[in-house]
Amino acid sequence: MTSWRPDRDTLKRPVYLSLVEQISGAVDAGELSDGDRLPPQRMLAQELNIAVQTVSRAYDELSRRGLVAGETGRGTFITLRTHEPPPPYINERGNTIVDLSMLKPVVEQMHLDRLAKALADLATSFPANLSTSFRPNVVFARHRGVAVDWLRRCGLETNARNVILTNGATPAMVVALMTATRSGMTLATEAIGHHTLPALAGNLGLSLRGIPTDIEGMIPEALDKAAAEGEIGALFIMPNPCDPTVSMMSAGRREAIVDVARRHDLTIIENDAWGPLIEKCPPPLAALAPERTLYITSFSKNVVPGLRYGYLVVPERLIPAAGNRHLVTNWMATPLIAELATRWIEDGTALEMVLWQRRALRRRQKIAAETLAGIDYLSHPDALHIWIPLGSHRSEDEVVSLARLHDVAIAPGASFRIEGDPKPAIRVCLGQPSEKELRAALTVLAGILASDPEPVLLTL
């Protein structure tokens, strides 16, 4: 065990975060090295005269940042990653796997035919200024105007000057986080939430605070309590429906979240990746609090995956900051994709594909309801996935491994846990396979869930 100890006299509120900064600073200074064992939580709490829960929370945050790893029966060790973690998708293994782990819309030959025709049309009529200019404000004026029309379908009234054109939701997330936060800040989000957020927050020097949720999403009282402790600087939230729990925020819940954000002066980052795919959706948070909300939507989840294009809508006061951050990280959206998407909005193709996707997903949700009859799970008619709680008697690893043994890939709930120790669950995506493959894969999964638990060892 290392002889290094934090300096109690320099700890400040929030204490757990101050402890994290001391330990990470010791790593940077070379006072702690790869493989050093940190003091047991109870011992360190006694030495510093702080609560064990505070030390536990600090160690959890260090783990999320990739600075420590816990080993059962041995303790917590400094671990300096020399390589990035594997990407969150399954390895290629021919065509034998039915992949229900990747969140993807339904794609059929119609989509490929429409793309081929659109690209052929662009080849003969692509605007010259889009090919030659490095000035997005000059060449994208029409595209921003069309964006305003599309955003209206998402329930948001805005102006063209507030819209940044992006290469999809992920670049928009990066720009939004860089605009709304600063290194060392704590970002609130759903306790079970976006799987890329921990890595992204870690790279930006942010701490994450997982806020409890219920069937309507984030609980306002829980957010209010966390914000009252003085730790929260901004909020990242996905109201409709949340990935992975499929919770759908009511209009009243959205108003309550906005009230908390205003009371504590929190900037909101709203991820609305599904956009107009969800029918009869309440107004987005950005419509209720435009002065403090950065709103994200995109096309790859509701039109076609290859259309990596989206919009980031920013409050008036943040237009310069967001524009600068987008410029230094992306410069501009890819003109070819921006032009294709804009034409599809103008001629009605984009809306036609959204409505087609909605019908396709409802058929697949019906297949899930038929195949998984008797199994409790959470869903929404227009969602690309379902969320299946397993109960305390089942292990996520066991269910995922047994499914993989039968050539079905699903995602464990651990991939989405931001904070706390929620009950085991799995995410099952419905868009990737054909309807026939989906029914067969869900039948396999239903059999696994109906059977007695099996040791993971038996799946090796």
Q: What pLDDT is recorded for position 344?
A: 98
Q: What pLDDT is recorded for position 82?
A: 47
Look at residue 141 and give its three-state secondary structure. helix
Helix, strand, coil percentages (3-state) for the chain, rounded to 5, are 45, 15, 40
Residue 258 phi, psi (nearest 5): -65, -40
b or e along 401-427 (b: 16 or more beta carbons within 10 Å of the residue's beta carbon)?
A: bbbbeebbbbbbbebbbbbeebebbbb
Distance between start and end Cα atoms, the chain = 35
> Which segments within 241-381 are labelled E, that is strand?
267-271, 293-298, 310-313
Distance CA 48, CA 192 (A): 31
Residues of the chain with pLDDT under 70: 71-73, 81-95, 138, 421-422, 454-460
Distance CA 148, CA 163 (A): 8
8 A C-beta contact, residue 160 and residue 314: no
Instruction: Name the β-bridge partners of 378.
Output: 387
- Secondary structure element (H or E) that encloses residue 232, with its range: strand 232-237
Distance of CA 369 to the CA centre of its chain: 26
Q: What pLDDT is recorded for position 247?
A: 95
8 A C-beta contact, residue 278 and residue 242: no
User: Is-same-fold flag (8-78; 98-109+351-459)?
Assistant: no
| Other C-beta atoms lying within 10 Å of the C-beta of residue 108 | 10
Quick one: fold of 8-78?
Answer: Arc Repressor Mutant, subunit A (1.10.10)
Q: What pLDDT is recorded for position 91?
A: 52
Domain ranges of the chain: 8-78, 98-109+351-459, 126-347
Taking every pair of Cα atoms in the chain, the longest distance, rounded to a whole number of angstroms, is: 73
Task: Look up residue 373 and give its two tokens.
Answer: 């009859």
Q: Which sign does the torsion angle of CA 113, 119, 124, 126 carry?
A: positive
Q: CATH assignment of 126-347?
A: 3.40.640.10
Quick one: fold of 98-109+351-459?
Answer: Aspartate Aminotransferase, domain 1 (3.90.1150)
Query: For residue 223, which of 248, 269, 259 has the smallest C-alpha distance?
Result: 259
Q: What pLDDT is recorded for position 416?
A: 93
Distance CA 438, CA 165 (A): 35
Q: What pLDDT is recorded for position 81?
A: 55
Q: What pLDDT is recorded for position 174?
A: 97
Q: Write the CA distances from 435 to 197, 306, 330, 350, integer angstroms.
A: 31, 21, 37, 23
Mind giving me the DSSP string for 212-230?
A: PEETTEE-HHHHHHHHHTT
| Other C-beta atoms lying within 10 Å of the C-beta of residue 433 | 21
Q: What pLDDT is recorded for position 322?
A: 97
